Amino acid sequence: MATHALEIAGLFLGGVGMVGTVAVTVMPQWRVSAFIENNIVVFENFWEGLWMNCVRQANIRMQCKIYDSLLALSPDLQAARGLMCAASVMSFLAFMMAVLGMKCTRCTGDNEKVKAHILLTAGIIFIITGMVVLIPVSWVANAIIRDFYNPIVNVAQKRELGEALYIGWTTALVLIVGGALFCCIFCCNEKSSSYRYSIPSHRTTQRSYHMEKKSPSVYSRSQYV
């Protein structure tokens, strides 16, 4: 019963992580305009994402433009685009494998050992996906903070951390926790199976005792002869 609850919790966290990974990939709020010094433009907000940049005016009208070329992006955003696309695919594969490894799933048969290995593989992929999401999010955040405190960079070009970065950190944590739950399920199943095979049952011990009692030993037979 506890293992079944862990499976549901891990699948839920994995699904949330998958949705969060896709959302972070398509969100334009990776870099947002910074309102510092004389750069106080309250009617316009500038957003920069992996696929487009947007300008929002007075919280009413928003215009977005897709990047003409991949080379128009900074190196950190170029790497982030590739890593986030890979993370989206990996999270989807891990989620589907986790569904196949659930005890309530019948299409993979009733072999619990096979399902346990499927869940272990899904958990490992979830953990790797969380690390893949964490790398570009932290990389872009480091570049934003470095440019923000760099006096050489123009004030109008400085940016702040966008909502996508905070969601990315949360998504990475959820993916890692979900993958760890699946790995814990595999360890619990392995311990229970080894304990089950190491301790003989009460019926088996009684049967072996009666067999030894019924069949006399070779030494006792030699004495009767």
pLDDT of 119-160, one tens digit each?
A: 899 999 999 999 999 999 999 999 999 988 888 877 777 888
Domain ranges of the chain: 1-27+74-193
Residue 56 tokens, joined = 């929002």
Host H or E run for residue 6: helix 2-26
Phi, psi of 209 (to 5 degrees): -65, -45
Q: Which of 5-19, 30-44, 91-105, 162-176 has the lowest mean pLDDT?
A: 30-44
Q: Which of 166-180, 181-195, 203-217 has the lowest mean pLDDT?
A: 203-217
Helices (H), 102-216: 112-148, 163-198, 202-214
Helices (H), 27-111: 75-101
Banded pLDDT at 224 (limits 50, 70, 90): very low
Q: Which CATH number does the domain 1-27+74-193 belong to among 1.10.10.10, 1.20.140.150, 1.10.645.10, 3.40.50.720? A: 1.20.140.150
- Above pLDDT 70, what percent of the chain? 76
Q: What is the pLDDT of residues 21-76, one digit of tens each?
A: 999 999 998 998 866 655 555 567 788 889 998 887 766 777 888 888 888 788 88
Q: Who has greater pLDDT, 181 or 223?
A: 181
Q: Who has greater pLDDT, 108 or 204?
A: 108
CA distance 174 to 32: 25
